[in-house]
């Protein structure tokens, strides 16, 4: 049961991340401007009068019945995940001897999902402040990584495993680089900077367009505004977008190099090949977002691709950690003499 629940929670988290991207990219993040309900109701159906009134006042505003349902379905999915992780934590603590595993990771995962729920509430009540929305994305990806690791721990490792060369540091660095790139991508999305450049490989007709980094990465500010309350300029948005492109180039080159080094190990070829395919598809989706002017399906798939790459890099790190050579155990002197 524990093994099945960990896998279910990991898959559910992946789907929740994709659903959250769809909600954000379809401008439904404020479909219900309160939390946890929708205008104090359990479903948008029960809040139809309030939603209709808000939509009539602002026909092109953030509130409509369709957007309200998108937002609430996302909340229902998130609540279900919180319940799953709660059950996992209880099982891990109560059956720690039977599982022969420390319950520390399930307990930590529970606290992370609680904080993630708080970030979800603040995302709405603080009107999509970029720092909060980006932190919400980071929390979702962190949960996914923790649950994937927990799922991999449930495999039967009683069979003999071939020893692998010690590439743990390089693989961990790859995970760090990918994580930084995901954060940059979240900052692009939450600041609506995806279309600051609509050509590729150049940006506004130049490899080094006019950019202003002064306010582009200032964390404590409102959506679309600089810290002093003025509106962000196109140069600010261009700086955000351009840096994400540079990060994509660094991530692509490093992961291709790492995959080339690890492909020599036969037991890793399937996983390494998956990383390369996912990486190429992810870069293609990113280029497609630019040249096709951010179509919703492509943008959502780009978020899904980031989550998939994270899963694969976590699997690689786990595989290298579990396949490292056993430490040398000193033998007694009389044993050596004999």
**Among 213, 277, 278, 223, which Cα is nearest to 244's?**
213
Mark whether 71 is an active-site residue.
yes
C-alpha dihedral (289, 295, 296, 299), degrees to nearest 10: -10
Q: Which of 49, 57, 71, 222 is catalytic?
A: 71
CB neighbour class for 334 (10 Å; exposed up to 12, middle 13-18, buried from 19): exposed
C-alpha 205/C-alpha 147 separation (Å) is 43
| Site of tokens 């399906």 | 297
Q: How far apart are the first and last CA of the chain?
A: 49
Burial class (CB in 10 A: 0-12, 13-18, 19+), 185: buried
In the Cβ-directed half-sphere of 73, how many Cα atoms lie within 13 Å?
17
Q: Any idea which residues carry the catalytic annotation?
A: 71
């Amino acid at each position: 049961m524990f093994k099945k629940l960990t896998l279910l929670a990991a898959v559910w988290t992946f789907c929740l991340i994709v659903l959250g991207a769809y909600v954000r990219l379809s401008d439904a993040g404020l479909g219900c401007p309160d939390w946890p309900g929708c205008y104090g109701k359990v479903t948008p159906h029960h809040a139809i009068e309030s939603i209709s009134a808000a939509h009539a006042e602002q026909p092109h505003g953030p509130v409509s019945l369709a957007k309200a349902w998108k937002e609430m379905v996302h909340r229902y999915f998130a609540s279900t995940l919180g319940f799953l992780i709660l059950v996992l934590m209880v099982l891990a603590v109560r059956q720690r001897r039977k599982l022969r595993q420390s319950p520390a990771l399930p307990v930590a995962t529970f606290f992370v999902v609680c904080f993630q729920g708080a970030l979800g509430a603040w995302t709405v009540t603080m009107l999509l402040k970029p720092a909060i929305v980006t932190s919400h994305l980071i929390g979702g990806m962190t949960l996914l990584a923790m649950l994937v690791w927990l799922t991999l721990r449930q495999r039967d490792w009683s069979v003999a495993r071939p020893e692998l060369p010690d590439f743990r540091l390089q693989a961990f660095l790859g995970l760090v680089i990918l994580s930084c790139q995901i954060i940059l991508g979240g900052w692009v999305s939450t600041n609506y900077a995806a279309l600051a450049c609509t050509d590729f490989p150049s940006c506004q007709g130049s490899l080094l367009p006019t950019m202003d980094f002064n306010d582009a990465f200032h964390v404590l500010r409102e959506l679309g505004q600089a810290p002093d309350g003025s509106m962000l300029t196109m140069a600010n948005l261009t700086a955000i977008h351009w840096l994400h492109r540079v990060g994509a180039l660094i991530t692509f080159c490093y992961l291709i190099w790492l995959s080339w080094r690890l492909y020599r190990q036969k037991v890793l070829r399937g996983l390494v090949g998956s990383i390369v395919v996912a990486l190429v598809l992810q870069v293609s989706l990113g280029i497609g977002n630019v040249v096709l002017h951010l179509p919703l399906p492509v943008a959502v798939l780009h978020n899904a691709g980031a989550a998939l790459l994270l899963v694969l890099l976590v699997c690689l790190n786990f595989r290298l950690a579990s396949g490292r050579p056993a430490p040398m155990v000193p033998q007694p002197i009389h044993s050596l003499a004999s």
